[in-house]
């Protein structure tokens, strides 16, 4: 079974469009159609319904999609296994990471890695940590350098690299700025600017608040910590930020019963053979601890 045809089918199925798949794979639309037709002929079943300019998966297509991903991942894993025998550290390494880690933690790592392994082409993709974990689970990325999930995720192996203490912060002119010690109830009487629901940082905050006997109320939300930092700095509310991001514009509040530290590190698929490049990246990261 031609791996190029499998890649084309997966792209078209996920994007629900032959034209978008053509753009993603740098092919013409007729080339996409030809590959899909060859795969359908080989399987003896139509994988897409083609109505006007829209395509949708047939029942056979829906059943085949997860199997196609498994087949492609197995083939790529076998190729990595054979390539690793040479001991050469080269090729493409696909990594997902958050904007925060990319800005504040990765620069010295990438500088050292690029110096030590110039033949590796880094495919560094910026996304939420939660999305990076999902992409590693599905095989779309080899490594995630992320905020680690609070609970183990299926098929993923995690490794801590950087403990990341968090502080509850306000601007210096905030009404609570002069309070030496507070409980969480006093904090909830003021507007909050919070990480988005579902993020690992938000989950950590919610868990800590519940353990302290409080309840996290509604507030403005955003996924970007740099944006939160700016909004807190101009006096729009309180928030939680990594201690490494704090500056003279922000003041840390001491809240009874609340102590927050998230974990930043590596996630990899436990059943996937790591490329030599991925193993080298992990070693470079481990040297930071």
Q: Secondary structure of 184-253 in the HEC alphabet? A: HHHHHCCCEEEECCCCHHHHHHHHHHHHCCCCCCCCEEECCHHHHHHHHHCCCCEEEEEHHHCCCCEEEE
Angle at 165 between CA 160 and CA 168, to 5 degrees: 145
Q: What is the model's pLDDT at position 272? A: 86
- The gap between the terminal CA atoms of the chain, to the nearest Å, is 44
Give 163-263's CATH code, choosing from 3.90.1710.10, 3.30.70.360, 3.30.300.30, 3.40.190.290.
3.40.190.290
115 pLDDT tier (thresholds 50, 70, 90): very high
- Residue 155's Cα: distance from chain center in Å? 15
Mean pLDDT of 199-227: 84
For CATH 3.40.190.290, list the domain ranges present in the chain.
163-263
For CATH 3.40.190.10, list the domain ranges present in the chain.
91-161+264-286
Mean pLDDT of 67-91: 84
Q: What is the model's pLDDT at position 256? A: 84
167 pLDDT tier (thresholds 50, 70, 90): very high
Q: What is the model's pLDDT at position 210? A: 84
Is the domain spanning 3-65 CATH 3.50.50.60? The answer is: no
For CATH 1.10.10.10, list the domain ranges present in the chain.
3-65
Most confident region among 17-26, 125-134, 193-202, 268-277 by mean pLDDT: 125-134
Fold of 91-161+264-286: D-Maltodextrin-Binding Protein; domain 2 (3.40.190)
- Alpha-carbon dihedral angle through residues 133, 138, 143, 149, given to the nearest 10 degrees: 20
């Amino acid at each position: 079974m031609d791996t190029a045809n499998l890649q084309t089918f997966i792209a078209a199925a996920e994007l629900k469009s032959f034209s978008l798949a053509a753009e993603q794979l740098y092919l013409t639309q007729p080339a996409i159609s030809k590959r899909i037709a060859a795969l359908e002929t080989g399987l003896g079943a139509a994988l897409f319904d083609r109505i006007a300019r829209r395509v949708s998966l047939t029942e056979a297509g829906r059943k085949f999609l997860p199997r196609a991903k498994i087949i492609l991942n197995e083939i790529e894993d076998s190729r990595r296994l054979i390539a690793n025998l040479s001991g050469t550290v080269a090729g493409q390494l696909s990594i997902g990471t958050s904007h925060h880690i990319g800005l504040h933690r990765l620069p010295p790592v990438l500088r050292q890695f690029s110096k030590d392994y110039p033949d590796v082409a880094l495919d560094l993709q910026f996304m939420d940590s939660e999305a990076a974990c999902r992409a590693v689970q599905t095989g779309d990325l080899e490594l995630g350098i992320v905020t680690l999930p609070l609970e183990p995720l299926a098929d993923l192996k995690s490794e801590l690299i950087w403990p990341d203490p968090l502080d509850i912060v306000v601007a210096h002119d905030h009404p609570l700025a002069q309070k030496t010690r507070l409980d969480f109830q006093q904090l909830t009487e003021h507007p909050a600017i919070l990480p988005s629901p579902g993020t690992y940082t938000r989950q950590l905050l919610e868990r800590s608040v519940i353990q302290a006997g409080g309840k996290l109320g509604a507030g403005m939300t955003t996924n970007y910590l740099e944006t939160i930092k700016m909004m807190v700095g101009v006096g729009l509310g309180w928030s939680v930020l990594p201690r490494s991001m704090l500056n003279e514009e922000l003041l840390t509040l001491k809240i009874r019963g609340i102590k927050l530290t998230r974990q930043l590190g590596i996630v990899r698929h436990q059943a996937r053979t790591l490329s030599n490049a991925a193993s080298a990246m992990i070693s470079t990261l481990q040297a930071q601890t």
